[in-house]
Amino acid sequence: MVSDTRMQNEIAMEPKPLFPPAAKAARGIAWRSIFKTGFAVVLVLFVLSQAVWPGTDICGHPARGRVTVYRGEQVLAVFSVAEAATAAQRRRGLMDCPALRPGTGMLFVYEDTRSRVFWMKNTPLALGIIFAAADGRITAIERGVPYSLNRIMSPGGVQYVLEINFQEAQGFQIGDRLHYTAP
């Protein structure tokens, strides 16, 4: 038989928790909160690191502004764009561009509204070619196949053409609107 004194000593030697259960739960909540806040900060920093600001290079062209794509009042996407406003810039376009960062593209701006023809000569990436009328309304979205010499024609008169990564054009539809903001 074990003496009462020995049993009391063994009970006394059992380790006591460092934190009572309520404090342990609060500490768990605090760590989850810190983790969530830290994750949010990391996510924001990542998004900012991927952003391209006016003045940044887009395949050898300086970024000149932003194109916002709307469906009704809802913003679908915002792109930093290089502007192809001269005949020479429009002829070169995104030729020889090995990669186009997400959220970037090239906006072709014309003085008048008429049919436009594009091709993918010397262009190694699949592009979404978005044709828009003078009011910014999207009239057609075409897929530019890398290196193709096939003609890609607008369905009628357009004044703007936006070239972006093909994957980024997938969520847009005819009738959505483009709005260009120059710095």
User: Are 75 and 116 in the same domain?
Assistant: yes
Q: Are residues 45 and 97 in the same domain?
A: no
**Domain span at 101:** 57-181
Token pair 């391209």 in the structure block, residue: 52
First to last CA, the chain: 90
**Residue ending a domain, choose from 16, 32, 50:** 50
Secondary structure (DSSP) of 13-60: HSPPPSS-HHHHHHHHHHHHHHHHHHHHHHHHHHHHHH---TTSEETT
Domain shared by 102 and 150, yes or no: yes
- Determine the pLDDT at residue 44: 39
Task: Looking at the structure, tell me whether residues 16 and 82 fall in a common domain.
Answer: no
CA R_g for the chain: 29
The answer to whether residues 65 and 130 belong to one domain is yes
CA 75 from chain centre, in angstroms, equals 13
Kindly report the pTM of this predicted structure.
Answer: 0.69
Question: Of 18, 34, 50, which residue sits at a domain end?
Answer: 50
Same structural domain for residues 43 and 71? no
What does the pLDDT read at residue 92? 84
* Domain identity same for 40 and 88: no
pLDDT of residue 88: 83
Same domain (yes/no): 43, 111: no
Count: domains in the chain: 2
Residues 18 and 73 in one domain: no
Q: What are the per-10-residue average pLDDT scores of the chain (183 residues)?
A: 52 49 59 56 40 64 93 96 86 86 94 94 94 97 96 95 96 96 85
115 and 171 belong to one structural domain: yes
Question: Domain with 92 in it: what CATH number?
Answer: 2.60.120.1140
Query: 164 with 107, same domain?
Result: yes
Residues 112 and 152 in one domain: yes
